A and B are shown apart, each in its own frame.
Chain A
Amino acid sequence: MISKLFSLLSQKDMAAVKKDIIGKLQEQILNLQGFKPERNAHGIDFGLGIISNAFPGNAFPLAALHEFLATNLEDAAASGGFISVLLSTLMKKGGLCLWISTQRKIFPPSLITFGLSPERIIFIDLQNERDVLWASEEALKCESLTAVVTELDEISFAQSRRLQLVTEKSRVTAFVIRKNAEKLSSTLAAARWRISAMPSGAIDGLPGLGFARWQVELLKVKNGIPGNWMIECAAGVFKPVKQAPFNDLKIRKAV
């Protein structure tokens, strides 16, 4: 039947139809893999610009596990800032967020710089990693939350799978900051990021610090294309920076 249909169409049309079919099949595959595009996801614009093209369906994967690698406090700070901007967009319509960690150093008043209201975050300060995992899983089960941020030293494959499965069910977005990223294990996260600081550009040629500028490395993304970008954050909004000065970046190997 289909072949008959194809024969009737011109070469050009056929290419379009093929593309359409492949697109639909891809969507089905994604669905089978537990990756359901959020119905409103296309409506939420994180201001990530060109980075959005790296995601499957060009939409930031919500209801999924995102892991951020951080080896030191500076990286953790950068990741915290990046996540805060994402959260501020996610929580524009209200909602609550849990921030679960041991030895928390996040300073709540700073988050307002990224457009995130600190009073809408509930911090859970725990003693050990086991409790952090338990609390994160419990929190991710609660559909009423918007997102859950977890700071961890390590997360194993099995643990990440548990979290990922829970997020798929409850549609809550999970952000995991791995503070001990030197010992990397593979995980089931939908995306693996590394956010690191970059020298800032001067604002209008004035001396002093410019807007926070980060190198955003998307090391892994399920069904997407990993990449490497530079982004700035001004007044709680992302501003992609032109890729021109990219040659001198040390390109890290994808892990």
Chain B
Amino acid sequence: MMQKRYMSIWFSTLLTDWIRIKRPVLKDLPLVFSDKAGNRMVITAASKEAASLGIHLGMPLADARAIVPDLEVIENQCHKSKKLLTALGRWCIRYTPLVALEEDQGLILDISGCAHLWGGEKAYLREIVNRLRGIGYQVRAAISDTMGTAWAVSRYGRVSPIIKSGEELNALLPLPPMALRISPIASQKLIKLGLKTIGSFISMPRSALRRRIGEDSMERIEQVLGQKEDFFLPITVPEVYSERLASMEPIRTRKGIEIAIEKLLFQLCTKLQSDGVGLRSALLQSYRIDGQVIKTQIGTNSPSINTSHLFKLFSLQIDKIEPKMGIELFTMDAVRFDRLDPGQESLWMTEKSMSNQKVIELLDRLAGKLGAQVIQRYLPQPHHWPERSIKKVDSITEPLSLPWRTDRLRPVQLLKVPEPVQVTAPIPDYPPMLFRYQGVTHQVKKADGPERIEREWWLEKGEHRDYYQLEDAEGKRYWLFRSGHYSSEKPSQWFIHGFFA
């Protein structure tokens, strides 16, 4: 079996480097990241400048501010570092197919059989480190037979970053116990005992050591020395669906563009279909001879690999593609794609369910021309407050999670904002006798109510509403409410909120 080789890359100041690449203004300023821990803000990352002023990780933000009053603070980015590492890991795929994330800001690469392509391990390591430093990240890297040794040398190594096979133990001897990545308590204990280097205790009898630092730490040591298998969980690379079509002669006609789109869609959809996914959003880029790139994007309401339907969506936008001197290259990318439901089961049941696909395609066409926000579907929400009793849903297949309420009559037409009306009503709780709305006086003949609806105090403040259903002399029906209680200080406010059928 071929000897495994691992490379560990350590981003010592990952987050601060990242923000400085994004905002170069922050260069050379003391900079920290802070996050909530319990009920206080603590430092989660600090730049070199901040660290040299005495700010360390885990320090309360208030203390840090006391030390450095003009400290730059970036808050609530706790998930950022993992995201960044994943992105960097994906970038590293160019050097080896197997990349894994490491805790505390590092990557581990399985480089077995890869380094010679770059002319040996030395050149390989230099290439990666230089490239990353060029982007703006402070990195240290090390190569070794075991992941643990590579980790230790990249963090604590002083001599050479490349550890030859079988030299692991020698490389580890001068390093502090922390380099073994054993628990902080165990390493503190060892230092307290005066065992400040790995060399001073590694040759001790296992049983004696185990008693002092525990079983977990012993296992860790065995992994570092390569006596036990370590875990390696490679990150996955997202599939990229992209097609390109170059044309010998620049294309200048609508027909030509249509043919190009059809061809690209066919290629893309064949690929998507074989992977069992469907298109949610596609981007067509047309490269013109004059250097301009025209971007055209479509979206669908459900994953689709129906080329004729997707083509229809594009054809709504072909007018926007101005060929001018001619287009020499088309590319099409699947910007978003989702798993394709095999049967696309639906809640519309029965005979019409077969043709559900057609409705989805209709909605796509509407969304393509008028925008996706025009399509609304509503489901009930467990709230009494009328404005909050329904919620918008994006999908046309989301089923009903709780039943519609039928015990209370609700108006067919509901005003977005209740409008004030003048009302004559006997107190305390009788329905109005007449009300005036938009200059017309309505005599109330029949009435039901009141139905008191309390405002949900945990969501918003304000008065409750007492709703009445009123019928005037002509039989027209209205939904009026009085806001709040009667009080002697101010006249009560009445509003009209809806119209019954």
Contact = CB atoms under 8 A, between A and B. Distances in A.
A73 B379 contact: no
Given A105-B413, A106-B413, A208-B448, 16 more contacts: A93-B351, A95-B352, A96-B348, A105-B416, A109-B405, A110-B501, A113-B409, A117-B404, A118-B378, A122-B377, A123-B377, A123-B378, A125-B374, A126-B370, A144-B359, A200-B475
A214 to B, nearest CB: 8
Nearest to A141: B362
B353 A113 contact: no
B291 to A, nearest CB: 36
A142 B364 CA distance: 12
B412 A107 contact: yes
A113 B405 CA distance: 9
A72 to B, nearest CB: 9
Contacts, number: 164
A163 interface: no
A112 B350 CA distance: 21
B366 interface: yes
A143 interface: yes
Contacts of A210: 446
Contact of B365 (A96, A117, A138): A138
B356 A144 contact: yes
A209 B362 contact: no
Interface stretch (B61-69, B86-94, B263-271, B466-474): B466-474
Contacts of A113: 406, 409-410
A168 to B, nearest CB: 18
A74 B365 contact: no
Contact of A208 (B404, B405, B447, B474): B447
Interface in B387-437: 389-390, 396, 400, 404-406, 409-416
B404 A209 contact: no
A61 interface: no
Contacts of A199: 445-446, 471, 473-475
A51 interface: no
Contacts of B174: none
B270 to A, nearest CB: 26
A110 B412 contact: yes
Contacts of A209: 446-448, 469, 471, 477
Contacts of B366: 124, 135, 138-139
A107 B477 CA distance: 15
A112 B390 CA distance: 13
B475 A111 contact: no
Contacts of B349: 94
A112 B411 contact: no
A111 B412 contact: yes
A150 interface: no
Interface in A184-221: 197-200, 207-210, 212-214
Q: Return the 5 tightest CB-CB contacts between A and B, nearest first.
A: A81-B501, A144-B355, A107-B414, A199-B475, A77-B499
Contacts of B374: 124-126
10 contacts: A77-B477, A94-B350, A94-B352, A106-B412, A109-B378, A117-B404, A119-B377, A139-B366, A145-B359, A212-B500
A110 B411 contact: yes
Interface residue tally of chain A, by bracket?
A: 35 or more
Contacts of B501: 77-78, 80-82, 84, 110, 114, 197, 212, 214, 233
B376 interface: yes
A209 B374 CA distance: 36
Contacts of B410: 107, 109-110, 113
Contacts of B376: 122-125
B324 interface: no
Contacts of B498: 107
Contacts of B469: 209
A142 B404 contact: no
Contacts of A233: 501
Given A122-B396, A209-B469, A96 B352 contact: yes
Interface string B330-353: 000000000000000000111111
Given A120-B348, A199-B471, A109 B355 contact: no
A93 B350 contact: yes
Interface in A57-92: 73-74, 76-78, 80-82, 84
A45 interface: no
A23 interface: no
Contacts of A121: 377
B390 A77 contact: no
Interface string A123-156: 1111000010011001101111110000000000
A143 B369 CA distance: 20
A96 B410 CA distance: 22
Interface in B256-313: none
B476 interface: yes
B471 A200 contact: yes
A32 B230 CA distance: 82
B363 interface: yes
Contacts of B365: 138
Nearest to B379: A119
Given A117-B404, A207-B446, A142 B413 contact: no
Contacts of A105: 413-416
A243 to B, nearest CB: 17
A108 interface: yes
Contact of A142 (B359, B445, B474): B359
A35 to B, nearest CB: 24
Interface in B372-389: 374-380, 386, 389
B479 to A, nearest CB: 10
B36 interface: no
A238 B405 CA distance: 21
Contacts of B254: none
A212 B410 CA distance: 12
Given A126-B370, A135-B366, A233-B501, A94 B351 contact: yes
B412 A94 contact: no
B38 to A, nearest CB: 43
B499 A124 contact: no
Contacts of A200: 446, 471, 475
B358 interface: yes
